[in-house]
Amino acid sequence: MPTRAARSRGEVPTSGVRERDFRLSASRGVGPTLGIVTNRIVVLGGGTGGTLAANRLRRDLGDEVVITVVDQDDDHLYQPGLLFVPFGLSRPQDLVRSRPAQLHDGIAYRTADIERVDLGAEQVLLSDGVTLAYDVLVVATGARLLPEETEGLTGPGARETVHTFYDLDGATALEGALSRFTGGRLVVNVVDMPIKCPVAPLEFCFLADWYFTERGIREQVELIYVTPLDAAFTKPVAARTLSGLLAEKHVELVTEFNTGEVDGTGGRLVGYDGREVPFDLAVVVPLHGGAAYVDRSPGLGDEFGFVPTDKHTLQSTAAPNVFVIGDAAAIPTSKAGSVTHFEGETIARNVVRFLAGEALDASFDGHTNCFIESGFGKAMLIDFNYDTEPLPGHYPSGVGLPLLSPSRLNHLGKLMFAWFYWHSLLPGRDVPGLTAAMPTAGKHMPVPTRS
């Protein structure tokens, strides 16, 4: 199945060019050296996953393949930085860099909206009318915010009493709103899961506690965290620690709240079950879905526009030559940059194996690693995978960073991560201490019970 015997001839671009209008609809072709078959890899999305996947594939396959990355704009946003913008700790302009500038030489970059993927014809239709044929498709278009799907969230009060920090404009507007806030009820609400970086709304609470303390008005501010989950977090051990931290910082926790309406004028969240939570300022994490073209591509996505994917091989269930990395994948792990980084190794290996007609490697273990800002210059670290929940201990070994415990070292780690993101993670290099397989050496693992 994966091997492709019949290869039609066509023209392919020379390597080392960018933003050039290749003969993109050319069928798979003969490489620069006549007689060598060149496979075409199209990568949809030039964010974290698309960039690091393209760079790894370029490094692994060189001129054996033509790699084209497509995205709708030229703004690569360092998303972990969004959390800091409302508190004046990051400047918006420092978080954005050029997308194609993050790609290795020899990778083509094209700015265009994606109209749809035709799985049967193995091609991508762009909104400018261009068709990209592929031998392997990598879906890396992440998650999209869907505030319009919650009643009232984009209505009166938006950007006045109702804000978000999940996009750059929102985070920037929220900085102004926070600076003008002099007291009252600040409600942080997650409408529903899944969301990107599920710990970020908790971090926002911890940083808000610090921020208002620094401003000397903490006593005048009530902080309330409203979640659809039945605890502060999805995993029991971490949920207990995080609940304890919320209580310690006097953040009220409201659980199992499914937001049906955000009433910006009346200042209240209304749950589907009739409960109400009043607010003076609301910070709402909207519903997430996959990219819009997924919905327009028959057979590609699920009901939310995420792409059903084998959780160990990262091959989509839609077609054998479609692979998925990052937030776009419907797999049971967090939508987070660290996950995407850990997936990079597996997806690159499996695309190479697929093109060679070899069996895929089912090695991705769901490894997730998150720094959680806890305020006052400290952060916690959690590390887990499909089978092991976040546990206390140290990372990556017994003498590493403390897990599930606030420390200054973790905060420094979080700040340093931005450098590693641009210089190691996106280029597709391994990051020291951040190995794909979850380490167990420093963790307090539970003693197996005898059956």
Instruction: Convert 53-80 into a string of H (helix), E (strand) and C (coil).
Output: HHHHHHHHHHHHEEEEEEECCCEEECHH
Query: Contact with another protein (CB under 8 A): which of 111, 154, 234, 435?
Result: 234
**Which of 445, 426, 431 minimizes the C-alpha distance to 99?**
426
Helices (H), 270-383: 292-295, 337-355
Q: Which amino acid is at 405?
A: S
d(CA 54, CA 351): 11
Instruction: Identify which of residues 159 and 311 has a Cβ nearer to another protein in the complex.
Output: 311
- Least distance (Å) from another protein to the CB of residue 33? 47
From the CB of 404, what's the least distance to another protein, in Å? 17
Using CB under 8 A, pick the residue from 14, 127, 255, 258 that binds another protein.
Answer: 258
Q: Is 255 in the site for another protein (CB under 8 A)?
A: no
Q: Does 287 bind another protein (CB under 8 A)?
A: yes
> What is the closest distance, in whole angstroms, from the C-beta atom of residue 318 to another protein in the complex?
15
Q: Assess 333 for contact with another protein (CB under 8 A).
A: yes
Does position 438 interact with another protein (CB under 8 A)? The reply is: no
CB of residue 148 to another protein, shortest distance in Å: 15
387 binds another protein (CB under 8 A): no
105 binds another protein (CB under 8 A): no
Q: Pick the closer one to another protein by CB: 190 or 221.
A: 190
Please identify, using beta-carbon distances, which residue of 76 and 196 lies nearer to another protein.
196
Q: Which of 35, 120, 216, 332 forms a contact with another protein (CB under 8 A)?
A: 332
Whose CA is closest to 438, among 345, 359, 323?
Answer: 345
* Residue from 29, 25, 37 nearest 10 by CA: 29
Task: Kindly identify the residues of this chain, within the stretch 176-215, that bind another protein according to CB under 8 A.
Answer: 192-194, 198
Residue 346 touches another protein, criterion: CB under 8 A: no
> What's the Cα-to-Cα distance from 235 to each of 53, 130, 386, rounded to whole Å?
29, 45, 11
Least Å distance, CB 367 to another protein, is 13
Count CB neighbours of 98 within 10 A.
Answer: 12
CA distances from 276 to 90, 156, 279 (A): 33, 18, 10
CB of 332 to another protein, least distance (A): 6
In angstroms, the CA 312 to CA 386 distance is 10
Q: How far apart are CA 33 and CA 59, in angstroms?
A: 19
Binding site for another protein (CB under 8 A): 192-194, 198, 229, 234-235, 256, 258, 260, 272-273, 287, 303-304, 332-334
